[in-house]
Structure 1
Amino acid sequence: MFSKFQNHIISRFPFLEDKKLFLAVSGGLDSMVLLHLLQQLPFEIAVLHCNFQLRGLESFGDQSFIQNYCDQNNIPVYTTQFDTEAFAKDYKLSTQVAARELRYSWFYELLENEKFDYILTAHHADDNLETFIINLTRGTGLDGLTGIPEQNDKIIRPLLPFSRDEILKYAEENKIEWREDSSNASNKYLRNKIRHDLVPMLKEINPNFLSAFQKTQSYLQESQEMVEDASIMIYQQVAKEVGEDIHFDLNQLQKLPNYKSYLYQWLNEFGFLAWNDIYDLVDGQSGKQVFSAEFRLLKNRNALILSPISEEDEKDEYHINKEDQDVNFPLKLRLCNVDHITLDSNKAIFVDAEKIQFPLVLRKWNEGDIFHPFGMNGKSKKVSKLFKDEKLSLIEKEKTWILCSDNQIVWVVGIRQDERFKIENTTNNILKIELQ
């Protein structure tokens, strides 16, 4: 396997020569084999390990195992710990999605801070098959059927051509130690159900199923390339780039029998999610808009105009007047008077309306911001310290908004209310402010 791996690196990733590489290592079979293989090649490597604290002492055992291995082999290692379940609950994510968000946010932060070039992960052919089946069961287009990409930005997956059986055989031949993740034996997660029940059945039907699947996926990738080529040709007929903006001619667009597919192909990379709203823009009124995190799509007469949200568009602050019940930009907020409070989510706060001075100001946080966290009996705290305690990534910090009344922080939105505006026994008018 080593010779095959070495040839694969040379042929597919020649640009890795003289680069500094991070390896994402869980301690399991796949990542320990990848680490062993790369130790034999002339690369400058360091190990990254995330402790998601999902399996009690077992999680800390994995961390110790990797730390000891790296110490014994003189490999630099970076470790971190996440309260994954709390993060998943706060942001209403599945545990697996939360772990992925935390992991990759930390990976990219280290890439920048430590001046490394790429991150290598140990995804292999069986992972690719399982991902294909998961996407197929949920409904997907070609993008979801072409599999895990061997390179995605700074993430590289050099084990994709190798099966789990090949990896296991290599580990046994080279007496490589690894840690078994007890959660992999459970069918709690969809991926495990597919791995334990469905894939063995498919391989029983056809012992060469994995090889046949890889051929099929290769054909699908070729089809996807044809779609992309066609998309580029039609784009040149329909779109006109004007500075940073892109203008789509609706008269030309609507002549296409499947223009929605082209719009998806062109706009997907800009982070849009509300596809039905985008398709409705084609026949919608002039002036209607759809937003992604960094771009807006505007219907302007016979054109759709795609433009980045500039600093002028994303102002330093937004005012909320007393009569405003619904705020739609830059966040969706609802303000209403209520008779009682329900403390079941950090997505809403209840304040004494008589303590609030309008207009309220919604702004991004500043480095020196100080507030009085609810529940701390009036003690003050820096917002930056709150972010550190909450283990927010750089990206999450940049997306956090502050709601203020007369220059006093009312709410670090979605995270913590300020004590000074809380409901008391003497409160006569309760204002609920909810993040939608």
Structure 2
Amino acid sequence: MLPLQQFQDFIKQHQLFAKDDKILVAVSGGKDSVLMLHLFKAIGVNVGVAHCNFNLRADEAQRDENFVKMLAVSLDLPFYITHFDTKKYAAENKISTQMAARDLRYNWFEELRIKENYDYIALAQHQNDAIETILINLTRGTGISGLHGILPKRDKLIRPLLCLTRQQINEAIDNNNLDFVEDSSNLSTNYTRNKLRLQVIPHLQEINPNLEKTFAENIARFADVEEFLAIQVKKLSAKLLNKRGDGIYIPLDELLKLQPQKLLLFELLKPFGFSESTIEDISNSLKSLSGTHFFSASHQAIINRNDLVIVAKDSNEHFNQFIHPSTKNILFGKHEVKLSFSTEIKFEIDANKAFVNADKLIFPLVLRNWQNGDKFIPLGMRHPKKVSDFFIDEKVPLHLKSSTPILINGNGDLVWIAGMRQDNRYKLTTATKKVAIFELEKY
């Protein structure tokens, strides 16, 4: 008999899908996926069969494709097939063949799920696969999330066969005389997972004959610890991560109080893509001088006075932007500068607006980033001041210095530090006949 009760209980326990959901079943033709397909069919779920031919094993790959197709036909199920040039994809992306096959199949499964209106994708990993995954993670290095191995459900992926061990699957296949095909690469020790399966785990089972049961219990404990940690980190994030318009500010004194510091800092900053080694550098630099920068692929972290400031990287380089008299608006990073003219000689006290004597402007003007050596005469003052000193006096965070637009006249004079202060030389006077109005909007 098929292990239907175990299968159904596991689906219910982990709420893998609803009764009326459509499930796309990934079937390679091996024992695991074949049994899973028969289990789905036996409990009356609406399923379709998806098979990938990676063109890695010549005639054997074609044999697998033919077998899965005939299996789907015999069960009166929809069948979907795709072919990949896996080695070419691996070479182009400079990744291993295994990783290439993984990327290709997961991407195709999701595209197919959406196109054919399936609710979930069922994968045939079982308890022994979960053990192998944990051992791989421990060998390569992992956080807490790597200790729970393979989850029964993540997004649109479900793994209902995690209720069974490899031995139970073999017994079900034999007892029910189910046909399957054997992947010869499963016997090769060229792959890390196969080395663990064939050479390491048998020795562990000699030490603990109930290895699968022990790991299943440990996985449940690890998952509980991860859930507890996630709850605590969520509370900590709400307390410490102060969102402002220009970034996220985290008080340094609060970070220094964290215990255990590196673990909690890693979890707090994980959404911003910082690696474990970078998190360690940040942890060791919390007492450093302002100006220390750290980078991930998407963000940068800056020690800025009393805070650690997290800001998203601007993907666009800020090149010089030219402004002509006909320019109405111009985009600059996360800013937009608008230009209008008026013959009414008046101004407003608004840092996001500059009211400039238009007769003194030499077009085209330039909108650019601040540069070392920039000077201007702040409105209301008589003597030049370095922009860098002005930023210090105004306590401008480091990450905003480089992104603040600077308006430069055609003769090289600095006209306006956008959103902060305009130059006294370009203020309105009784002799002004035309006003150029610059207005800054931030996004």
Task: Output the TM-score relative to the length of structure 2.
Answer: 0.65
Alignment match, 2:154: 152
Q: Distance in 1 between matches of 2:84 and 2:272?
A: 29
* Contact 2:289–2:305 (8 Å) recurs in 1: no
Deviation at 1:264, TM superposition (A): 1.6
Alignment match, 1:427: none
Alignment match, 1:86: 88
* Contact 2:293–2:300 (8 Å) recurs in 1: no
Deviation at 1:9, TM superposition (A): 1.6
- Deviation by residue 1:113-155 (Cα, 9 ceiling, x = unmatched): 2222111100000001111111122222222111111111111
Alignment match, 1:186: 188
Q: Distance in 2 between matches of 1:284 and 1:195?
A: 50
**Equivalent residue in structure 1 for 2:77, among 64, 75, 78:** 75
Please tell me whether residue 303 in structure 1 is matched to residue 307 in structure 2. Answer: yes
Please tell me whether residue 97 in structure 1 is matched to residue 99 in structure 2. Answer: yes
Q: Which residues of 2 match residues 8-407 of structure 1 at below 5 A?
A: 8-13=10-15, 15-242=17-244, 246-273=248-275, 275-276=277-278, 279-280=281-282, 282=286, 283=288, 285-286=290-291, 288=293, 290-293=295-298, 295=299, 297=301, 299-307=303-311, 313-315=314-316
Q: Distance in 2 between matches of 1:78 and 1:285?
A: 57
Counterpart amino acid of residue 297 in structure 2? S
Deviation at 1:300, TM superposition (A): 4.4
| Local SS of the residue matching 2:177 | coil
Counterpart amino acid of residue 177 in structure 1? D
Q: Distance in 2 between matches of 1:113 and 1:263?
A: 41
- Deviation by residue 1:142-171 (Cα, 9 ceiling, x = unmatched): 221111111111111111121011111111
Cα distance, 1:285–1:52 mapped onto 2, change above 3 Å: farther
* Contact 1:70–1:77 (8 Å) recurs in 2: yes
Cα distance, 1:170–1:44 mapped onto 2, change above 3 Å: same
Task: Output the TM-score relative to the length of structure 1.
Answer: 0.66
Cα distance, 1:215–1:57 mapped onto 2, change above 3 Å: same
Counterpart amino acid of residue 182 in structure 2? E
Q: Distance in 1 between matches of 2:62 and 2:319?
A: 47
| Local SS of the residue matching 1:254 | helix
Q: Distance in 1 between matches of 2:302 and 2:81?
A: 44
Deviation at 1:244, TM superposition (A): 9.8
Deviation at 1:215, TM superposition (A): 1.6
Alignment match, 2:323: none
Deviation at 1:318, TM superposition (A): 8.0
- Deviation by residue 1:275-331 (Cα, 9 ceiling, x = unmatched): 4278447547438462435x554554433344556xxx444x8879xxxxxxxxxxx
Alignment RMSD (CA, Å):
2.6
Alignment match, 1:401: none
Deviates more, 1:52-61 or 1:279-288: 279-288
* Contact 1:244–1:308 (8 Å) recurs in 2: no
Counterpart amino acid of residue 286 in structure 1? G
Q: Distance in 2 between matches of 1:239 and 1:98?
A: 37
Cα distance, 1:107–1:305 mapped onto 2, change above 3 Å: farther
Q: Distance in 2 between matches of 1:245 and 1:278?
A: 21
* Contact 2:21–2:46 (8 Å) recurs in 1: yes
Structure of greater Rg: 2
- Deviation by residue 1:19-45 (Cα, 9 ceiling, x = unmatched): 121111111110000000001123221
Counterpart amino acid of residue 18 in structure 1? D
Deviation at 1:96, TM superposition (A): 1.1
| Local SS of the residue matching 2:51 | strand
| Local SS of the residue matching 1:159 | helix
Deviation at 1:100, TM superposition (A): 1.0
Deviation at 1:270, TM superposition (A): 4.2
| Local SS of the residue matching 1:16 | coil
Deviation at 1:221, TM superposition (A): 2.3
Deviation at 1:233, TM superposition (A): 3.2
* Residue segments in structure 1 that go unaligned for 5+ positions in a row: 321-436
Q: Distance in 2 between matches of 1:274 and 1:257?
A: 17
Counterpart amino acid of residue 94 in structure 2? K
Identity, % of aligned positions? 37
Q: Distance in 2 between matches of 1:159 and 1:292?
A: 36
* Residue segments in structure 2 that go unaligned for 5+ positions in a row: 321-443
| Local SS of the residue matching 2:24 | strand
Alignment match, 1:329: none
* Contact 1:121–1:157 (8 Å) recurs in 2: yes
Q: Distance in 2 between matches of 1:63 and 1:298?
A: 53
Deviation at 1:222, TM superposition (A): 2.4
Q: Distance in 1 between matches of 2:240 and 2:311?
A: 16
Counterpart amino acid of residue 303 in structure 1? D
Deviation at 1:61, TM superposition (A): 1.2
Deviation at 1:242, TM superposition (A): 4.2
